[in-house]
């Protein structure tokens, strides 16, 4: 009987320990949570001093998105001459810091399947010439990746 009580106590301690270990491994504190999002935006400026990118977020709508077309009151025939529409609810810009090791790729006119990899200085020049459309990957309010969207 005494051995049985010791065995049950040890088993209970082991179960509690395993439960605590699993709980500790699976929970994250708020400071550890990573919030990553991807948006589509026109790039308007890069400030090298602050390492901040200014952009205007937009929405890409193609003809297959009938629900959104109806919601916005668009005409599927006349409002989509190229099969898509860039919807810009507000021309308000936003600025975010750019990561020191940001990945940047732009459309390669010679081979659309293989984008060109560029650095932030080349992108700054690109922005001055064009108003490029980019997918921005943002992690905790810092831009970590930029990929130019091909527009026909």
**Domain range summary for the chain, segments of one domain joined by +:** 36-148
Can you read off the two tokens belonging to residue 70? Answer: 């109806």
Cα dihedral value 120, 123, 124, 130, nearest 10: -170
For the chain, list residues with pLDDT below 50: 2-15, 17-21, 24-29
Q: What is the pLDDT of residue 1?
A: 52
Q: What is the pLDDT of residue 151?
A: 85
Q: What is the pLDDT of residue 130?
A: 87
CB atoms within 10 A of CB 26: 7
Q: Tokens 């929970």 sit at which residue?
A: 27
């Amino acid at each position: 009987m005494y051995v049985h009580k010791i065995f049950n106590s040890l088993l209970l301690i082991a179960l509690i320990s395993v439960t605590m270990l699993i709980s500790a491994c699976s929970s994250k504190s708020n400071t550890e949570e990573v919030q990553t999002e991807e948006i589509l935006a026109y790039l308007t400026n890069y400030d090298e001093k602050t390492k901040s990118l200014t952009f205007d977020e937009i929405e890409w709508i193609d003809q297959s998105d009938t629900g959104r077309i109806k919601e916005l009151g668009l005409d599927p025939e006349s409002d989509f001459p190229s099969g898509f529409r860039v919807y810009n609810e507000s021309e308000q810009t936003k600025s975010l810091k750019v990561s020191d090791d940001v990945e940047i790729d732009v459309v390669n006119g010679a081979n659309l399947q293989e984008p060109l990899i560029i650095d932030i200085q080349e992108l700054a020049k690109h922005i001055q010439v064009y108003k490029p459309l980019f997918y921005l990957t943002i992690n905790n309010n810092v831009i970590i990746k930029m990929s130019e969207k091909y527009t026909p």
